[in-house]
Amino acid sequence: MRCGQFGVPSILKTAFFASIVLLAFLGTVYAGPVVTCNEHSGGVVEISLGERLLLRLRDAGPYPCVTQRAKDICARLESLFTNPPANPVTFSVSKENGYVTAHCSGYKVFSVYPEDALSNNSNLFELALFWLNRVQMEFYQLRGSYQDRVIHKLEGEASWYGYKFEGNLTACGEVYDPYAFTAAHRSLLPGTLVVVSNPDNGKKVVVRINDYGPHKRGREIDLSLAAAKAIDSKEEGVATVVIEVIE
């Protein structure tokens, strides 16, 4: 796939410094978040962080009741926010037997069931990505005002790469997962966090750079399948986006 674009010393050096920066960031950001479950009429439970909605549940799934399911997800989110996993942090989804589960570096965050997709007028995969993108935006504290953390801004064409590269090694040595929020760039260091926005619909996604690309001239960034889905650029194939590099 995109292996061999960096020499081994360069990979180790850039990955090392990116890890140090991200670990320092993680050590200072997550202090005492309060995730709440708010019950509404009609059996709806909203899970929020402050005044910002994360998930809206209408079905209990395999749980005895929707409230118990919401409390379990709240506990998982609080654990994630207060005890972040070791670097590198990867947000992804996986297809299970009849449902989809969202993860953060292997830690289960929540699952999405067919009833959730039906009640939200969506499908399992897209709803899981939508909810998980909200979660990771909160995890990195990028859902509110974050412009003071933007160190560089780019605008250009975004393409995406998917299933046929699944399982291949990326330029920094990770296994490519099309269902993870990652991306490839020619000059940004592995581990760099960027917010990619689609100006046509206002949708944003956070991705971690873990590969080298795109290889085609005129394109600025290669998004994973999950990231392209999150900003509705997958069907277009190539879309103009705004890329904000986060300190």
Claim to verify: residue 41 and residue 134 sit in the same structural domain:
yes
CA-nearest of 133, 104, 138, 146 to 246 is 146
Tokens of 180: 């993870």
| Whether residues 134 and 154 fall in one domain | no
52 inside domain: yes
Give me the torsion for CA of 31, 73, 19, 154, rounded to 10°.
-100
Q: Which domain holds residue 235?
A: 146-246
User: Of 88, 108, 139, which marks where a domain is finished?
Assistant: 139
Residue 105 lies in a domain: yes
* CATH classification at residue 150: 2.40.40.10
Convert the pLDDT of each residue in 10-67 to its tens digit.
433 434 444 444 444 444 344 456 899 999 988 899 999 988 999 999 999 999 999 9
- Asked if residue 13 lies in contact with residue 172, where contact means CB atoms within 8 angstroms, the answer is no
Is residue 185 included in any domain, yes or no? yes
> 236 and 195: one domain?
yes
pTM: 0.85
- 114, 66: one domain: yes
User: Domain check: are 113 and 181 in the same one?
Assistant: no
pLDDT, one tens digit per residue, over 190-221 is 999 999 999 999 999 999 999 999 988 889 99
